[in-house]
Chains A and B, each alone.
Chain A
Amino acid sequence: MGFTKDHLLARLQELQIDYSKYEHPPVLTVEEQAKYVSSSEGTLSKNLFLKDKKNRYYIVSAMVDTKVDMKVLSQRLGLGKGGIRMAPEEALTELLQVSLGCVTPFAVINESARDVSLLLDQKFMNQTRCIFHPLSNDVSISLNTSGLDKFLQSIERDPVYVDLEANPVVGKDQPPDLAVYVPSNSVVVPELPNKTASIQTPSKNVSAEKTKPAAASAKPSKPAGNVKSAVENSALLVFKDPEKFVEEILDKTSALLLSEMKVENVEALTETLRKRLAPQFTNLAVMYKNKAYSEGFYAGTHSQPKRPQ
């Protein structure tokens, strides 16, 4: 459910943010990008997606010739000397929902990136226009920092500009000056699940489905995740197993009966039961029927002996 470049550009237009758009073949590096977008259009940016040891993520967006020293940055964030490194590709896809070579401040428009801290090069503020990818690396847009600020404010983020080349002393009496920008929440990005559900058992589909929406906000609960899909598996049996099917119907009916016991009139009670339960049970029955049919259909279409090629 990530934003696409068209969504983003539509949003910028809605916010009446002035920008210029340049389309070009997909580019993975700043050098390549520079071939297609000239410096007269604006200043190019390099964008780093970083991660610390506690699973907190950062986008650092800087002018190409700004020197970003990772050791210094790590210290200024209060993470010690080697506390920060490039984030892995899965995090790029899961949290920023962009492809390789496409890190951009605009990625924070995605809900999945809400805990990602965005640090912008102070030197952008002196430029007429700066160039970023609008969520896709076959397009670049140039805009003024006031436009970028307006965009960030529209998604309830305060723009943070930092002197990335500064190297202040960090010590006992000099607290790390960027520590305040460390995200308060860490994010667990699971390894890329195998989504090619070609062999069909309900369990495979359930777990493949579950990881996608849950990824960005999952706390370290991987074991719990597995237990959950096991519970869902047995819940799905209700669509396949006649006994579970009947059990489900009797359970729901008894529950409703007990909760409505205070009703004096038995006829009224049965009316209520019908009204409340009929739609639910019809859905249950239809799905049961569909499952039986599908399995029969599969068996039927696969029952011919293999013919020699």
Chain B
Amino acid sequence: MEVDKKEEIASETSSEQVVNPWEVSAKDGGRIDYDKLIDQFGCQRLDESLIARVERLTSRKAHVFLRRGVFFAHRDFNEVLDAYEGGDKFYLYTGRGPSSEALHLGHLIPFMFTKYLQEAFKVPLVIQLTDDEKCMWKNLSVEESQRLARENAKDIIACGFDVTKTFIFSDFDYVGGAFYKNMVKVAKCVTLNKAMGIFGFSGEDHIGKLSFPPVQAVPSFPSSFPHLFPGMDMLRCLIPCAIDQDPYFRMTRDVAPRLGYSKPALIESTFFPALQAKNGKMSASDPNSAIYVTDTAKDIKNKINRYAFSGGQDSIEKHREIGANLEVDIPVKYLSFFLEDDAELEHIKKEYGEGRMLTGEVKKRLTEVLTEMVERHRMARAAVTDQMVDAFMAVRPLPNMFE
């Protein structure tokens, strides 16, 4: 049973780090303490042995995000692997809150990883677009949030999901029927006080917000998708997400046994740092804190050169003497997310950390890597038509979803 942790949500708090679905900030302007977070939330570290197990079970090298500790925490991932090894499959569930048209690299990370999981384990995937959430929290009109959901769906599809194994849905379109029945069942199990404790709601918040958490919870239950998983009520669910989403799923895991459902498993990631490295995560409110998928090669080069926070020293002499501060250097951090080649990354870290390589060179390599990635994404994005979005979002069976 999960221990019900009481969080200090929001404001008082620059003396404590704050991590919840609506706010992420580090303590005292520093960096997020992930060990403390794991402790506070009660999830587990994803260790080397689990990664090795994944490689064995999937017969391929683990995704770069696993190797580099981007996805670093989990709940019950080893149970899912046990079941998988025994022949019992699972399905994947992830989502996006479509609050803006502009997606940056940080947004793509859970999708890139989920795509790898889909390919490696050969399992189906549901993707939830929480247009209702953004309509409520960001005060968008219903039409605007629906429009953004479709636009974002295109970028998501461009990440390379297989239409024969993927169901994308928007809350405004899909909520109802079996999905809604599960929502009511979940809602009955969570008191107002509990919701306020977990999510920080107050008497000032409108009732729409209060009733939202079940919407994000029930995709974890296969009976919410009768067209996909008929008669498979015990199918397990694995949720790749950023760690700030943990509160929703703690609540879900708490409720699941009471409804006779399996608890969803989670695999959680760190936050993608902003270019200027101010604590917390990349923010869609500052265009220069992030590389967008619509940025041109020139934009990327400029942003990295001008805004990427460097751990290099002030002068070349000093740099050659002491080397770069790899802890705070953003280009190296970004390379650790996106540079596939482990050997090359090690080489860069060594040379840069010992002062033989200069910041300019590291930035140049990063620019190459990111430009290639963004280019590839843009090409794929251009191939996504409204017709394709319709197909991904159609309520239809997926007969070959485990092949």
- Give residues in A with beta carbon < 8 Å to B: 1, 3-4, 6-7, 10-11, 111, 197-198, 200-202, 205-206, 209, 212-213, 232, 235-236, 239, 280, 282-283, 286-287, 289-291, 293-295, 297-298, 301
- Does B388 make an interface contact (CB < 8 A)? yes
Q: List 7 A-B contacts (CB under 8 A).
A: A1-B292, A202-B382, A213-B294, A239-B383, A287-B380, A293-B164, A297-B396
**Contact flag A290-B163 (CB < 8 Å), given A295-B387, A298-B387:** yes
Contact B391 A202 (CB under 8 A): no
Contact B164 A294 (CB under 8 A): no
Q: Which residues from B are CB-within-8-Å of A3?
A: 285
Q: Which residues from B are CB-within-8-Å of A291?
A: 383, 388
Distance of A163 Cα from B323 Cα, bound (Å):
53
Q: Which residues from B are CB-within-8-Å of A11?
A: 285-286
Q: Contact partner of A294 among B292, B295, B387, CB < 8 A?
A: B387
**Interface stretch of the complex, out of B13-21, B154-162, B175-183:** B154-162
Contact B385 A294 (CB under 8 A): yes
Contact A294 B285 (CB under 8 A): no
- Does B346 make an interface contact (CB < 8 A)? no
Q: Which residues from B are CB-within-8-Å of A205?
A: 382, 384-386
A4 to chain B, nearest CB (A): 8
B276 to chain A, nearest CB (A): 12
- Near A by CB (< 8 A), chain B positions 328-353 give none
Secondary structure of the A contact surface, majority rule: helix
- Does B296 make an interface contact (CB < 8 A)? yes
- Does B28 make an interface contact (CB < 8 A)? no
Contact B390 A298 (CB under 8 A): yes
Secondary structure of the B contact surface, majority rule: loop
- Does B254 make an interface contact (CB < 8 A)? no
Binary flags per residue of B110-122, CB closer than 8 Å to A gives 1, else 0: 0000000001000
Distance of A236 Cα from B380 Cα, bound (Å):
9
**Contact flag A232-B390 (CB < 8 Å), given A286-B160, A289-B163:** no
Q: Which residues from B are CB-within-8-Å of A282?
A: 119, 160
The total of chain B residues at the interface (CB under 8 A) is 32
A27 to chain B, nearest CB (A): 19
- Does B48 make an interface contact (CB < 8 A)? no
B137 to chain A, nearest CB (A): 11
Q: Contact partner of B163 among A1, A202, A294, CB < 8 A?
A: A294
Distance of A198 Cα from B164 Cα, bound (Å):
24
Q: Which residues from B are CB-within-8-Å of A209?
A: 381-382
- Does B379 make an interface contact (CB < 8 A)? yes
Q: Contact partner of A198 among B294, B386, B388, CB < 8 A?
A: B386
- Among B160, B162, B382, B394, max chain A CB count under 10 A is at B382
Contact B382 A200 (CB under 8 A): no
Q: Which residues from B are CB-within-8-Å of A236?
A: 382-383
A-B pairs, top 9 by smallest CB distance, nearest first, are A294-B388, A294-B391, A7-B285, A297-B391, A200-B385, A1-B102, A290-B163, A200-B387, A239-B383
User: Of all chain A residues, which has the CB nearest B385?
Assistant: A200
**Contact flag A202-B385 (CB < 8 Å), given A287-B380, A294-B391:** yes
**Contact flag A213-B162 (CB < 8 Å), given A282-B119, A293-B391:** no
Contact A294 B119 (CB under 8 A): no
Distance of A236 Cα from B382 Cα, bound (Å):
8
- Among A6, A235, A291, max chain B CB count under 10 A is at A291
B55 to chain A, nearest CB (A): 16
Q: Which residues from A are CB-within-8-Å of B387?
A: 200, 294-295, 297-298
User: Of all chain B residues, which has the CB nearest A240?
Assistant: B383
Contact A286 B386 (CB under 8 A): no
User: Of all chain B residues, which has the CB nearest A1?
Assistant: B102
- Does B29 make an interface contact (CB < 8 A)? no
A207 to chain B, nearest CB (A): 10
Distance of A209 Cα from B383 Cα, bound (Å):
12
Contact B394 A232 (CB under 8 A): no
- Does B257 make an interface contact (CB < 8 A)? no
Q: Which residues from A are CB-within-8-Å of B381?
A: 209
Contact A1 B101 (CB under 8 A): yes
Contact A111 B287 (CB under 8 A): yes
Distance of A201 Cα from B164 Cα, bound (Å):
22
A29 to chain B, nearest CB (A): 24
B164 to chain A, nearest CB (A): 6
* New A-B contacts (16) at CB < 8 Å, excluding given A1-B101, A11-B286, A298-B391: A10-B285, A11-B285, A111-B287, A200-B386, A202-B383, A202-B385, A205-B385, A209-B381, A213-B295, A213-B296, A280-B376, A282-B119, A287-B380, A290-B157, A293-B164, A297-B391
Q: Which residues from A are CB-within-8-Å of B396?
A: 297
Distance of A212 Cα from B381 Cα, bound (Å):
15
